[in-house]
A and B are shown apart, each in its own frame.
Chain A
Amino acid sequence: MKNNLVRKITAATLATGLLAASLTGCGSSASTSEVAGTEEETVEASSNAGYRTLDEIKESGTINIGVFSDKSPFGYVDENGEYAGYDVYFAERIGKDLGVEINYVSTEAANRIEYLQTGKVDIILANFTVTEERAQEVDFALPYMNVALGVVSPDSAVVESLDDLGADDQIIVISGTTAETYLTKNYPDIKLQKYDAYAEAKTAFENGNGVAWANDNTEVIAFSLENEGYTVGIPSLGDQDTIAPAVTKGNETLLSWLNEEIEALGTENFFHADYEATLLDTYGADYEDTLVLEGGK
């Protein structure tokens, strides 16, 4: 009996040890793959372990681009099975200017960094917000879109500045969003009404439980356009975040090509055309200049 128990415990410990070893093995190897990539003794080795340089991509004739396949209107698949959206419009242009075919890879928010670090895609164009933490893991090119917070309120009492709020006025936020963090930190005196889900916050706002609703500006803009009687009084609040293409850390050739490409596209107002082709239906013409970043600035 006792012997049996001991054996079981040993087995469990060994199994956990194995698990831990394999997990840490994964975590700590980011730097090794980078080394393997910069050495690039042969085409074979660098394409397997790290990333593909610009020349290798051109030579192979295909570029792998990771996009969302279910985040309309940024990256989605239309009814004919074709990829479409703001990110995809840009990806198509990259493929055209490089003179290569595009192989779209359907990515999820949770695996975008993994895809780049293992070199399984060359570029991620999946509504990827630039943050400091992410910039340590991947290399971001010049940005092509702005995101910020926005505040929507009823037409009858539009809130245009957070400083105008009365002492008893409450603002609706969704728990865990950047809107909550930002308001708690920068406007500690404003009373917040917190809801767990989007649908709850929406119902509360429509019932007039708060004077305004703060969320990502793309969300509140879409809300005001889909629902009569609401105006986005503050379309852009707080820190401006940007959306940019990302490549594997250290892939200098592809990164500098992308940066030059984005700068060159700025001269022909490419991203405005992109907005008009893909985002106009959802966000309307009024927000074009708020959301679009041309030429990386």
Chain B
Amino acid sequence: MASLGIDVLFKGTNFIRLLQGLWVSVEISLISVALSIVLGLLIGVLMTVDNKPLKAILKIYLETVRIMPQMVLLFIVYFGTTRVFGWDMSAESSAIFVFTFWGTAEMGDLVRGSIKSIPKIQFESAFALGMDKIQTYFYIILPQTIRRLIPLSINLITRMIKTTSLVMMIGIVEVLKVGQQIIEANRKTSPNAAFGVFAVVFLLYFVVCWPISRLATYLEKRWA
């Protein structure tokens, strides 16, 4: 055990700090994921609307998010807005903004794909039953879309949770940064601590992502 350097985690308040760091990561990602799902559903439905200017705008939005590394987005939102407009956004709100901006675009595209994959006859049958557009979407299309979305969005959600490690670049001390701090502070006394600490950080990420993927499997079975 000692050679793996896990013991450094039990010095002082190290382990509590690691858990606090984990909470920071989870908090940022859960808020962003929740916002992304809601906004993503809306954007996804808008993406299927047959309106050229709207389509062009959404296309630009999606491509911008795809092209830009999240790190660049974080720097633009946190430092860029202060320089250009003088807004002093806190690091946490900048992070939530960037992750929601990213999640909404990708979620929207997944929703668009799922809606497109629903056979045209479903729309036609609903209209034939006398439903209007909103009723059709609400009762017929979206329930089926959400079922198809689950496996796809789990990928996105877990990716968002893991990408929160980038927020250390705008000064937020999250789980990975605390891990690095612990390793460095003990560099002389336990040079092998890196292995043990990163193994524990890996486990913590696993503990967060595993229930999400279990929930998805459960929902997929229940709604199938």
User: Which among A53-61, A107-115, A180-188, A266-274 touches the partner chain?
Assistant: A107-115
Contact with A along B164-183 (1 / 0, CB 8 A): 00001111010001101111
Please give me the residue from chain B that is nearest to A46 by CB atom. B86
| Bound-state Cα–Cα, A69 to B182, Å | 10
Query: What residues of chain A lie closer than 8 Å to B8, measured between beta carbons?
Result: 79
Let me know if A16 and B67 touch, CB within 8 A. yes
Query: Which positions 62-81 of chain A face chain B at CB distance < 8 Å?
Result: 66, 69-72, 76-81
User: Which among A7-15, A132-140, A210-218, A284-292 touches the partner chain?
Assistant: A7-15
Contact with A along B58-90 (1 / 0, CB 8 A): 011001100110001001100110111011100
| Bound-state Cα–Cα, A25 to B180, Å | 33
Knowing A36-B86, A79-B12, A108-B169 touch, does A26 contact B80 (C-beta < 8 A)?
A: yes
B56 contacts A by Cβ under 8 Å: yes
B51 contacts A by Cβ under 8 Å: no
Contact with B along A34-52 (1 / 0, CB 8 A): 0010000000010111000
Let me know if B184 and A18 touch, CB within 8 A. no
Let me know if A79 and B11 touch, CB within 8 A. yes
Let me know if B86 and A49 touch, CB within 8 A. yes
Please give me the residue from chain B that is nearest to A117 by CB atom. B83
Query: What residues of chain B lie closer than 8 Å to A66, measured between beta carbons?
Result: 171
Question: Considering only CB atoms and an 8 Å cut-off, how many residues of chain B contact the other chain?
Answer: 40
Range, interface on chain A:
35 or more
The total of interchain contacts (Cβ-Cβ below 8 angstroms) comes to 116
| Bound-state Cα–Cα, A214 to B61, Å | 50
Interface SS, A side:
helix
Let me know if B17 and A81 touch, CB within 8 A. yes
Query: Can you spell out 26 A-B residue pairs with CB atoms less than 8 angstroms apart?
Result: A7-B59, A10-B56, A12-B63, A15-B63, A16-B67, A19-B67, A23-B76, A29-B83, A30-B83, A48-B86, A49-B82, A69-B173, A69-B177, A70-B185, A72-B184, A72-B185, A72-B187, A77-B17, A77-B185, A78-B12, A79-B13, A79-B182, A79-B186, A106-B177, A115-B171, A226-B188
